Amino acid sequence: MRVVIAEDSVLLRAGLIKLLGSAGIEVLAAVGDAGELLAAVPVHRPDAVIVDVRMPPSHTDEGIKAALVIRRQWPEVAGAGAVPVCGRAVRR
């Protein structure tokens, strides 16, 4: 499987690259914001994307919005799974 990662935390991004690589998953690109993600998808044509929900600039829902754009514009990528993830614990 070939993936693109979008995560603004440099440390978490590096950890995901290492973890996925050790599992035989090829990381085609690892980017820090939604704009970079939307630029990387048409260039790399991954099977899937792993997306942080909260990314710059507002740290609210940029990742979700980017995943929705990917689903609309590149359905072959979203068909494999656009997976929003959040790097921070959520307290209720």
User: Which token pair is 91?
Assistant: 């307290």
Residue 70, domain member (yes or no)? yes
How are strands ordered across the β-sheet holding 26-31? 26-31, 2-6, 48-52, 82-85
DSSP secondary structure string for all residues of 31-76: ESSHHHHHHHHHHH--SEEEEESS-TTTTSSHHHHHHHHHHHH-HH
The parent domain of residue 21 ranges over 2-85
Q: Could you tell me the CATH number of the domain that includes residue 8?
A: 3.40.50.2300
Residue 90, domain member (yes or no)? no
pLDDT of residue 54: 87
pLDDT band at 86 (very low <50, low <70, confident <90, very high): low
Domains contained in the chain, number: 1
Tens digits of residue pLDDT in 22-69: 999 999 999 999 999 999 999 999 999 999 888 888 988 898 899 889
pLDDT of residue 79: 47
Residue 84: pLDDT over 80: no
